[in-house]
Structure 1
């Protein structure tokens, strides 16, 4: 009994945070018991319990039960039974201490978790945890490293990633470190540290309510064998309220002292989340201290050039989040490259979700959603700000400095603030709100802090405004067009052009025509602007005059007809744009072009219903249009293709027309490029010959076009139609055992691609399939698999069903030959799934071929 009393005394002292008991402590313990349990154990009774007063009789069962409950047990009997089984009183005391402090730390952590999740712009289940960061954190926890840091730009998702780590590793079901003590700071800790001059070490001890005479860390330092897990300190948003270098230095010194204080304790871990600019300064301090540098774990996800491990979201991660949002809201979104680039920063996905929940009309936006989101961000953070003038001044000034600075789109912080010292608070607000980001460059003897726009969308927005303000001419759009031509091609020029259309959407609705078709832009840039403009016309209900509609449709139809094989012609955005233009079309010639494009798209998707609808609409077009503009009748062509896919009697009249075209071309040699109707006719004619396996006719047909339009096949004039015709000829040569000629064409196509780099996956995938077939004939199976697999994966991602099938067949043949039946089954299942929407009987033939 006496040993049980002695052990219970240790538990009560540990619970109270008292190392050496004195009579005066008994009153404090009595208060603690009443506060915690609502039960009373008098000061006098406690003095008798600890031996400060004579004990004439034993303590009551009530007193013993209450003291045991205070110590963390169910009662005296439970306590007695537990220590009898364990046989190690000191170990039991340590266990109770660890458990008690873990419960206290969990209270702090759970409040922090709840706060972070509730303040997230997205429902927490929709958010993404980065697998590479998780892998790094897991290794860090198992290693001897003591310091790990999440670094990234504002809005990169650092806070949510911290919450994901806490859930997965500490709080979740079957968490690997559920017995560890996790102490997750609230976001405003760094502000408190600075404002009240709090010592992190003291804050750590105070957070656990440790008394002055008892030190939790010291206790387990002396008894490391009794540690039951890890003690992990996680601090989020350390630099959220800190801007000046002296403030950061103060906090960093505090952190470094804490790390040194915990030196030697392998079970102690520190995890921070900071911005890249802040981390650059802290990283520099670590490099100056060899001991500190050794305990920092960078991880495989850390990128030294970016000073970050919280890098931009990739397309797969973005798609996962958007799928969850669209499923909840009913929105449909097919992101363009500009949107993917914007959504790589998770903040803008949160903003999209917010707008969806606030305004149902956001559901209809497509490519122009890019401008809607950035404009909403600027209106929310800038236009309504009390220091709007100061912020706008700094942002415009940064744009001007970036234009004149050879180092790129960043300038020294001192340059930006020179003469604008009164705007210092606004400058820090712009950083905190996600407009600007600082970068610390210590590569030179004299280190500098540089500043740039956090996202290119913001830079191009303010650059477009700056250009417009600089140009007061009457024909402003014409002047801007010349500036755009001189601007280097790429994503930034595309965004700039979109911003001009956005700014002029009401003032000058046909600005798109002036900007897109003035020359100097690549086909993909023009196509991006066309999708963007159609999106604005639909969603903002911008009214065009009849003349504006006619001009827009005429130029757009001619452009799409000439370039659609260079574009992602199966994109849902493409279909939406063509349908809108068709609704605007008033001239039968333009209607014919657009209907033919829809029919080709339906044919590539093997869409029976859409193809028949297109044929029915084409039959309504005046016959004179077909005679005047098309060397091969389009209705006859698509009737043949429909019959072929339907395995029905096909209209062979078109085959006779193509044969006649080869023998007796309807026009003489023309050194100019082919007209729109001719280009479309060449496209569907080559499809017909290829599907009919008339290989020699394919070769003769392409050679006829080479004779009629020699300029089309020069490297300078290389385009999508050139690539497509050459590749079809190469396939025909290869399958006619003319391997040398097929290889020569493949080399020529690659040279063309070196000139025309703005082609999309369709032409490139055809080339990969050709290379795969050439390698397979040479029995270079490893190389063949590389080409076929590349084509197959990209076809699957872009929904090129026909090409996916063509890529699958040789892959299945090689895998079967190599006895890799697992891959055979995987590819077969994927192709079968892709073909579920095909309603042509040819599906059964294709499946039989795949199964064979």
Structure 2
């Protein structure tokens, strides 16, 4: 065990580092430090020992006198005693010494606590200065300290950030520059130290008596109760890492019994407090049985967030804490704003946030695509917690049994614990590790007369991953046609299948199975599924710097048989897709594919009011139209339609000839019934809708959309087609423009239902959601439901600011401004006007402002 009487360990560490010439030491530097020590002293201190000395590895025994003497000699002292004597005299000269009994124990406690804290900081997955204090944990401990409870505990699975939260709490309350309770004694130790002591027969009270050096059978609690004038404050004992994985279940029970005796014996000494950190699995095994006793509830504070089903009382990181950590890693505010809500929700898990930051730090990048990163985070998480474990064989058996009981998710997401472990006692240790490491989660539905514990994967993506690996292993670790056929038959019309296929695609990429990748893209998947897989594939090779391999996967002629325009849709209208679209532009062979991509790029530039980028895309579209006979023969070419909008936005000019063609579309528009329109047709129809809306001709917009739906019923009945939903949004806007509230409200409600029900199908195309909320805000405003209107408009503003779609921002500011004016919210109204001015000054598309912003 660690010798807790070494008051100068921290000082020795600092002196060694100063001599070595660094402020902080990393694990890979310990080897070089060992060579430096050998060269200067002629004595060898191993790299492993140095890691233990500096808290970079767990220490379960005392540092040998040889190690301490050698390190002291490295710092030019005779030995360890000479080192301590020198610094004791120095400290005496520099500051007055508190010779009281309270002062003595406080000094010892500080030395031990600083060492424990330094160890935990050095072992943090994220450099400690870049971690965020957990506000909930700080508040939890503050409430506990001010209460009459004797003990509290932070309960959560592994990787939840409990230890780092305790370090922040210790600095906040006792050791920081502006500590809240500097008069208290805080004794912060690792469970290894306490456990080693207690298992040798010590009790916590006896140990503290020994640290006080009271002797003569005196008890420290009785002493300070009898001499309250000598007591400076509270005595807080923090024990971190109180879990069975590191100590063993049998030893843990002994330790728990001794801890319980100590806590309950503090009834007459409320100034003695105990704080633990513990894994959820250990709590379920050791502590939960005590909850039924009144004494436990009387002495232990569990906090308002305690979840009895999952045995967790610490919430995930808040969104603000996640953003603080990302900012500390030099993520630009614009990059952080661009993260989707679903991705931020996953980063609230501290271990996933740690892995994401490590990816970026190691590659030296300030931004990594969130979809790509999420896959790597999950893969790394499973690698660490399952495959790198000494019990990995047993863990895989349990996971396979889970998949069998769940029927790959067809039988639901939960199964009975008894069925999972039935007649397999040898699996129980591995099962407890899976629970402790947050691979599996137990949910207790037991009642007084019935034991009922359910088990599920901690996250659905774990089920998806292991399902994919099940099929891959079953088919000899090669993505064959038979395997893909098996998957498609097993998951018919299931959204789950796309995630499973995505893991298979990653497997094929990582194992350089080119033919397997090609097979995946021949599957009869929906357009949205193909688009997502294609996006992941391209992003992976862009990130790895092997973009040329795309030419092997998609050789010349590939996209002539399988046009890119069948892979991508309006979901790609997102600024983060710009690089992807440009890559696809280099792979595209047909004019239609190139036009589809250019059309999306122009639409994005226009929505962002980026006149210069719009001109670049227009030039490309003009070349495509000039070189293709089919496009040249259209009654309005895509270039003419987009150029009409561009001139109107920039100069306010209207090409009368083109205006006449647009307004008399019926004269030129002869469409055979149920004909599937081309990419050129879709581009022109989109541009006509934009033109009607920008010019404020709502009645024409209504008539055009109705005629389009009539001629192409396939659009109307394809519920999840983003182009259809965009048309419906524009139609709802037009109905508002002619004061047809009933029609606008009906269409808006339909769009909301579709977006909510098929939310997983719209990966990044949140411009549809933003536009629907803007329309809803206008409807609520007109119906005088001002609170609902503000919530909808402000939610929309959050989305459009991330997307940087300034056209939508202007529409939304117009709605917000009228709401603020009606409610006399002058500050918010002035802020809205200021933001409108900023947008105006940042674009040369001046003519759009008065039309969109109805102040």
Q: TM-score, normalised by structure 1?
A: 0.79
1:334-373 matched pairs, under 5 angstroms: 340=344, 343-358=347-362, 367-373=371-377
Contact kept in structure 1, 2:281 and 2:435, CA below 8 Å: no
- Against the structure 1 CA distance between its residues 802 and 548, is the aligned structure 2 distance closer, same or farther, given a 3 Å change threshold? same
Contact kept in structure 2, 1:136 and 1:301, CA below 8 Å: no
Compute the displacement of 1:181 (Å). 1.3
- Against the structure 1 CA distance between its residues 730 and 400, is the aligned structure 2 distance closer, same or farther, given a 3 Å change threshold? closer
- Tell me what 2:204 maps to: 200
Compute the displacement of 1:508 (Å). 4.1
Q: How far does the alpha carbon of each residue in 1:424-469 deviate from its partner, in whole angstroms, 9 at most, with x for none?
A: 6655665666655566665464647766555544443332121123
What is the SS of the residue equivalent to 1:255?
Answer: helix
> Which ranges of structure 1 fall in alignment gaps of 5 or more residues?
1-33, 40-65, 76-91
Contact kept in structure 2, 1:335 and 1:366, CA below 8 Å: yes
Mapped to 1, the partners of 2:359 and 2:788 lie a distance apart of 48
Mapped to 2, the partners of 1:694 and 1:404 lie a distance apart of 53
| Structure showing greater Rg | 1
Mapped to 1, the partners of 2:832 and 2:309 lie a distance apart of 39
Mapped to 1, the partners of 2:406 and 2:201 lie a distance apart of 39
Report the RMSD for the aligned CA atoms in angstroms.
4.1
Q: Comparing 408-417 with 676-685, which one deviates more in the overlay?
A: 408-417
Mapped to 2, the partners of 1:363 and 1:772 lie a distance apart of 33
- Tell me what 1:464 maps to: 468
- Tell me what 1:27 maps to: none
Contact kept in structure 2, 1:775 and 1:783, CA below 8 Å: yes
1:70-81 matched pairs, under 5 angstroms: 74=96
- Tell me what 1:815 maps to: 820
- Against the structure 1 CA distance between its residues 630 and 134, is the aligned structure 2 distance closer, same or farther, given a 3 Å change threshold? farther
- Against the structure 1 CA distance between its residues 97 and 362, is the aligned structure 2 distance closer, same or farther, given a 3 Å change threshold? same
1:217-256 matched pairs, under 5 angstroms: 217-224=221-228, 227-239=231-243, 241-242=245-246, 245-256=249-260
Q: Does 1:605 align with 2:611?
A: no
Mapped to 2, the partners of 1:789 and 1:528 lie a distance apart of 29
- Tell me what 1:616 maps to: 619
1:384-533 matched pairs, under 5 angstroms: 389-403=393-407, 408-409=412-413, 435-436=439-440, 442-443=446-447, 445=449, 447=451, 453-471=457-475, 474-483=480-489, 485-486=491-492, 488-489=494-495, 493-505=497-509, 506-509=511-514, 511=516, 514-515=519-520, 518-519=523-524, 521=526, 523=528, 525-533=529-537
Q: How far does the alpha carbon of each residue in 1:63-85 deviate from its partner, in whole angstroms, 9 at most, with x for none?
A: xxx9x989x9959xxxxxxxxxx
- Tell me what 1:321 maps to: 325
Q: Which of 200, 214, 238 in structure 1 is aligned with 2:218?
A: 214
- Tell me what 2:682 maps to: 679
Q: Which of 584, 588, 610 in structure 1 is aligned with 2:587?
A: 584
What is the SS of the residue equivalent to 2:514?
Answer: coil
Mapped to 1, the partners of 2:152 and 2:243 lie a distance apart of 16
Q: Comparing 149-158 with 734-743, which one deviates more in the overlay?
A: 734-743
- Tell me what 2:75 maps to: none
- Tell me what 1:735 maps to: 737
Mapped to 2, the partners of 1:117 and 1:186 lie a distance apart of 13
Mapped to 1, the partners of 2:226 and 2:715 lie a distance apart of 83
Q: How far does the alpha carbon of each residue in 1:770-828 deviate from its partner, in whole angstroms, 9 at most, with x for none?
A: 23222323334333323322322332344332222221222223223333223234444
Q: Does 1:790 align with 2:788?
A: no
Q: Which of 659, 663, 670 in structure 2 is aligned with 1:666?
A: 670
Q: TM-score, normalised by structure 2?
A: 0.78
1:660-809 matched pairs, under 5 angstroms: 660-670=664-674, 674-714=677-717, 717=719, 719-750=721-752, 756-757=758-759, 758-759=761-762, 760-809=765-814
Q: Comparing 402-411 with 186-195, which one deviates more in the overlay?
A: 402-411
Compute the displacement of 1:111 (Å). 1.0
- Tell me what 1:46 maps to: none
Mapped to 2, the partners of 1:405 and 1:728 lie a distance apart of 39
Compute the displacement of 1:717 (Å). 4.2
Compute the displacement of 1:550 (Å). 4.8
What is the SS of the residue equivalent to 1:779?
Answer: coil
Q: How far does the alpha carbon of each residue in 1:529-580 deviate from its partner, in whole angstroms, 9 at most, with x for none?
A: 232111123234234448556545875732465x31xx362241x2122111
Compute the displacement of 1:134 (Å). 2.4
Q: Does 1:118 align with 2:122?
A: yes
Q: How far does the alpha carbon of each residue in 1:227-263 deviate from its partner, in whole angstroms, 9 at most, with x for none?
A: 4332222111110535765444333222221111111
Q: Comparing 407-416 with 185-194, which one deviates more in the overlay?
A: 407-416
> Which ranges of structure 2 fall in alignment gaps of 5 or more residues?
1-80
Mapped to 1, the partners of 2:536 and 2:263 lie a distance apart of 53
What is the SS of the residue equivalent to 1:125?
Answer: helix
What is the SS of the residue equivalent to 1:842?
Answer: coil
What is the SS of the residue equivalent to 1:184?
Answer: strand
- Against the structure 1 CA distance between its residues 832 and 126, is the aligned structure 2 distance closer, same or farther, given a 3 Å change threshold? farther
Contact kept in structure 2, 1:431 and 1:437, CA below 8 Å: yes
- Tell me what 1:21 maps to: none
Contact kept in structure 1, 2:154 and 2:314, CA below 8 Å: yes
Mapped to 2, the partners of 1:745 and 1:554 lie a distance apart of 37
- Against the structure 1 CA distance between its residues 447 and 479, is the aligned structure 2 distance closer, same or farther, given a 3 Å change threshold? same
- Against the structure 1 CA distance between its residues 378 and 199, is the aligned structure 2 distance closer, same or farther, given a 3 Å change threshold? same
- Tell me what 2:30 maps to: none
Mapped to 1, the partners of 2:851 and 2:564 lie a distance apart of 36
Contact kept in structure 2, 1:108 and 1:184, CA below 8 Å: yes
Compute the displacement of 1:528 (Å). 2.9
Compute the displacement of 1:732 (Å). 1.8
What is the SS of the residue equivalent to 1:621?
Answer: helix
Q: Does 1:296 align with 2:300?
A: yes
Mapped to 2, the partners of 1:410 and 1:744 lie a distance apart of 38
1:367-386 matched pairs, under 5 angstroms: 367-379=371-383
- Tell me what 1:558 maps to: 565
What is the SS of the residue equivalent to 1:233?
Answer: strand
Compute the displacement of 1:693 (Å). 1.1
- Against the structure 1 CA distance between its residues 437 and 267, is the aligned structure 2 distance closer, same or farther, given a 3 Å change threshold? same
- Against the structure 1 CA distance between its residues 217 and 674, is the aligned structure 2 distance closer, same or farther, given a 3 Å change threshold? farther
Contact kept in structure 2, 1:276 and 1:439, CA below 8 Å: no
Mapped to 1, the partners of 2:183 and 2:648 lie a distance apart of 67
Contact kept in structure 1, 2:820 and 2:826, CA below 8 Å: yes
Mapped to 1, the partners of 2:500 and 2:247 lie a distance apart of 31
Mapped to 2, the partners of 1:478 and 1:658 lie a distance apart of 47
Mapped to 2, the partners of 1:546 and 1:809 lie a distance apart of 48
Compute the displacement of 1:120 (Å). 0.7
- Against the structure 1 CA distance between its residues 822 and 266, is the aligned structure 2 distance closer, same or farther, given a 3 Å change threshold? farther
